[in-house]
Amino acid sequence: MSVQQASKPKVAVSPLSLEDAKDPPLHLFKNKEPYTGTIVSVERIVGENAPGETCHIVIDHDGKVPYWEGQSYGIIPPGENPKKPGNPHNVRLYSIASTRYGDFFDGKTASFCVRRAVYYDPETGKEDPSKKGVCSNFLCDSKPGDKVQITGPSGKIMLLPENDPNATHIMIATGTGVAPYRGYLRRMFMENVPNFKFGGLAWLFLGVANKDSLLYDDEFSNYLQEYPDNFRFDRALSREQKNKSGGKMYVQDKIEEYSDEIFKLLDNGAHIYFCGLKGMMPGIQDTLKKVAELRGESWEEKLSQLKKNKQWHVEVY
């Protein structure tokens, strides 16, 4: 139910007062006074052959913690901080994977895309539960009705600029970094929002290990069928595809493949977004620098200009 597919016609939504706000909601709930939300559902969204487990988690906030697409919530897992006995755990930030209307289109839920963090001892190869991710395991193990402490919302870097409904948005993700883009794409292609009609181009690059690791693939594939002029989708499957040099196919290899087109779009004002593990950025930056030099451009100057024009959006962890 939660990971719904797009269908014709678009889902009509009753515009929230958020649509009229000039600025995004920020820090409505602080670490010392979080909001208590309720888990609605937890759904495994990867296949059997995916390395690791990724879950789609829907949380009910009853409309009390409104947000815009591209923002994050903080989650405080239960229990005490082992480094500060007697104190709660530190807040963990998660990008929100739904639009401001939530998965049920009523403005009362928010969704996360969470990979369960586990640790394997490099010598024995065995899982060490004492080093597993506290918050990701709490969320993936939670059941409908469980309570969850929420702070935020936070973040302005990944907000979707809507002043030009015909703009181009190039979205680059590794794994669960796809979360904010799911929100963008549902807003563009699934919801019938009276005051936002998207007529531009959304181009998603998603890097994962294999086909079983693809996230929200049915949803994105549906947009490809229904909006072929407005949506492009390129997958980089590192364990199943080879790049032009015969090595593993990573997201930066896909960027290199389409680099001429990407650079032209950036020159024409396209926005480019990066979300995922921070380890993705050096390889991507190296690729972009190499392409810029082949075009006789200085990457440092180009990057500086993109940042100045607010076309460059990065959120890595």
Q: Which residues are annotated as a binding site for NADP(+)?
A: 95, 115, 176, 238-239, 248, 276-277, 315
Q: State the amino acid at position 56 in one-letter form.
A: H
Distance CA 263, CA 237 (A): 23
- Going by the DSSP 8-state scheme, the letter that residue 90 receives in this structure is P
Q: How many CA atoms lie within 13 A of 119 on its CB side?
A: 9
- Sequence ranges of the binding site: 95, 115, 176, 238-239, 248, 276-277, 315
Q: What is the DSSP string of 41-79?
A: EEEE-S-TTSSS-EEEEEEE-TTSS---TT-EEEEE-SS
Measure the N-to-C terminal CA separation of the chain; round to a whole number of Å: 29
Residue 275 catalytic?
A: yes
3-state secondary structure 148-179: EEEEEEECCCCCCCCCCCCCEEEEEEEHHHHH
Distance CA 178, CA 138 (A): 21
Residue 142 catalytic?
A: no
Catalytic site residue from 41, 72, 95, 142: 95
Residue 53 catalytic?
A: no
Cβ contacts of residue 317 below 8 Å, gap of 6+? 93, 276, 277, 278
- Residue 57: closest CA among 92, 17, 11, 21: 92
Distance CA 120, CA 127 (A): 4
Distance CA 146, CA 185 (A): 29
Q: For residue 124, is it left (φ>0), alpha (ψ between -120 and 50) or beta? A: alpha
Catalytic site residue from 73, 94, 101, 184: 94
Residues serving a catalytic function are 94-95, 275, 315, 317
